[in-house]
Structure 1
Amino acid sequence: MITLKKVLAYKTFYVIRNHNYAVAQQICEQLINLQVKCLELTFTIPNVEQLIKFFRYKYPATLVGAGTVLTLDQAIRATEAGAQFLVGPVFNQAVSDYCHQNNLLYIPGAMTLQEVSNIVNAKWEIIKIFPATAFKLNFIQTIKIFFPTKVYMASGGINLTNYEEATRLGYDLIAVGAFITGDVNSKGLDLEKLKIFETIVNQ
């Protein structure tokens, strides 16, 4: 199992959601060539399991996981392909049980205190607040009053203008997607924004 300490060292998860397999592969290759170390390949990519397997084999030093995991079937397929972590937009009890049974890292999503509480009760350490910009980013400070020891990931709407605010307010991890890796119909990576973002993250 990927340890919490190792995940925290990465700080940023790059989320790829493209509807075109070849474009998704190209984006991942570019990210890795630019020294990005953590990729979240979502189930919006056709045959995403093949892509996970490909990058796990070709780049063993890169952390590769599956995103938009909504069902137990997806969790099993992603794990069999070699995914090192599973991320969901919401909490799924069957996926949670499967990950505990198989010693896998599961990062479920929440956007209310009740949903966060459900994840805490299921004994998961990392909670994805999604979409993080649905409310003011300082919502994280309210959550931390009740669950101060957990690790929080901001996902959905994080970009160059609000990344520093998100980290200052208390987010431990950041998931970045559309503004760098593009939406589902993107033709490629925004290299200029990536370089600016990486400079900010690593300063």
Structure 2
Amino acid sequence: MLNELLKRPVIPVIVIDDANDAVPLAEALLAGGMDVIEVTCRTASAAEALARIKKALPEMLLGAGTVVTPDQAKMCIDTGISFGLAPGLNPDTVKYFQDRNTLFIPGVMTPSEIEQGLSFGLKMLKFFPAGAAGGVNMLKNLGGPYASQGVQFCPTGGLSLDNMNDYLSLPIVSAIGGSWLATKQQIADKQWGVITQQVKDALAKATEVVG
């Protein structure tokens, strides 16, 4: 699964308030050429949203984000997600996913957290909150000591169409996470065409640096 995820430079970070919007939203992403989604576990409808996408669109690489409690971790595994993410690094959550052979990408912000991730054999880490944590300059500095360890980062938080390639141009960045691709308001207003165009724009932008 990690190899598959590494082929996808842009991951949409989605907050779904109404599970009825889950499948139309995922279809809008697919229409734009994006077959990966991260549905955050921030809302009461997240579990049902994940389940609906899994059933209706098995071709999607289905990720669950903001996995911060044992109950959320169990729900994600039971749903059959492709990968999980979290804003921080909880060793218990890492082990739970590893024991069930499911890719997990914890969040890190400091060298100590990166080294803790390495101690678990993790090679892809979420850099969060990227903008507030020093952005591109911070990642450039982290690349010095850790690039040789094979670490790849997925920065999330504060990214946009305007700055995404500043991150993707870094050798240690394999993908970026973006909530601008489908905002809560756009989803609530069912602006599927707008979302599809935003996805197309992001993917076109990404080709400027990743081919």
| TM-score (norm. length: structure 1) | 0.90
8 Å CA contact retained: 2:33, 2:200? no
Q: Aligned in 2, Cα 1:185/1:33: closer, same or farther, shift over 3 Å?
A: closer
The CA RMSD measured in Å over matched residues stands at 1.9
**Alignment partner of 1:165 is 2:166:** yes
For structure 1, list consecutive stretches of 5 or more residues without a partner in the other structure.
none
Q: Distance in 2 between matches of 1:50 and 1:29?
A: 16
Higher mean displacement: 104-113 or 33-42: 33-42
For structure 2, list consecutive stretches of 5 or more residues without a partner in the other structure.
none
Q: Distance in 2 between matches of 1:72 and 1:196?
A: 37
> Which of 54, 57, 70 is matched with 2:55 structurally?
57
Task: Kindly provide the amino acid, as one letter, of the partner of residue 173 in structure 1.
Answer: A
Give the structure 1 partner of residue 207 of structure 2. Answer: 202
**Alignment partner of 1:74 is 2:72:** yes
Q: Distance in 1 between matches of 2:14 and 2:104?
A: 18
**Alignment partner of 1:21 is 2:19:** yes
Structure 2 SS opposite 1:45:
coil
Query: Equivalences for 1:188-199 in 2 at 5 Å?
Result: 188-189=190-191, 190-191=194-195, 192-199=197-204
C-alpha displacement at 1:24, in angstroms? 4.2
Task: Kindly provide the amino acid, as one letter, of the partner of residue 115 in structure 2.
Answer: S
> Which of 169, 173, 176 is matched with 1:174 structurally?
176
Q: Distance in 1 between matches of 2:135 and 2:87?
A: 19
Q: Distance in 2 between matches of 1:22 and 1:182?
A: 16
8 Å CA contact retained: 1:50, 1:81? no
Structure 1 SS opposite 2:158:
coil
8 Å CA contact retained: 2:126, 2:156? yes
| Identity, % of aligned positions | 23
Higher mean displacement: 69-78 or 138-147: 138-147
Higher mean displacement: 180-189 or 48-57: 180-189
Task: Kindly provide the amino acid, as one letter, of the partner of residue 43 in structure 2.
Answer: I
> Which of 113, 116, 120 is matched with 2:114 structurally?
116
Q: Distance in 1 between matches of 2:177 and 2:53?
A: 19
| TM-score (norm. length: structure 2) | 0.86
Q: Distance in 2 between matches of 1:184 and 1:96?
A: 32
8 Å CA contact retained: 1:69, 1:87? yes
8 Å CA contact retained: 1:138, 1:169? no
Higher mean displacement: 77-86 or 4-13: 4-13
Q: Distance in 1 between matches of 2:37 and 2:112?
A: 29
Q: Distance in 1 between matches of 2:80 and 2:34?
A: 19
Q: Aligned in 2, Cα 1:163/1:32: closer, same or farther, shift over 3 Å?
A: same
Structure 2 SS opposite 1:152:
strand
Q: Distance in 2 between matches of 1:33 and 1:83?
A: 21
Higher mean displacement: 16-25 or 121-130: 16-25
Give the structure 1 partner of residue 44 of structure 2. Answer: 46
Structure 2 SS opposite 1:202:
helix
Q: Aligned in 2, Cα 1:81/1:184: closer, same or farther, shift over 3 Å?
A: farther
8 Å CA contact retained: 1:19, 1:185? no
8 Å CA contact retained: 2:66, 2:87? yes
8 Å CA contact retained: 1:71, 1:92? no
Q: Aligned in 2, Cα 1:75/1:159: closer, same or farther, shift over 3 Å?
A: same
